[in-house]
Amino acid sequence: AELAGQVDRRVRWYYTPVARQRGRQSWIEHRQLIAAIADRDQRRATELMREHTEHTRTSYHARQRS
């Protein structure tokens, strides 16, 4: 429970500024990630998580510059 709380706090400061900007696409990426995990496709899940994280990071930094 403590770890989940820490992750939640860390994600919120990062997520909140880009949520509106990435909203729909982010949900699509989450669905793809969940499907890969359900299929036990570790390679695909890893690839999707890296892509999702990079998209979010890029959006966050682009927002910070504007």
Q: What is the predicted pLDDT for the residue at 12? A: 75
Q: Compute the average pLDDT of residues 1-12.
A: 84
Read off the pLDDT of each residue in 16-31 and give the average, rounded to a whole number: 83
Q: Pick from 15, 11, 13: which is nearest to 26 by CA?
A: 15
Average pLDDT, the chain: 87
Residue 65 has pLDDT above 80, yes or no: no
Asked if the model's pLDDT at residue 51 lies above 90, the reply is: yes
pLDDT at residue 31, rounded to an integer: 96
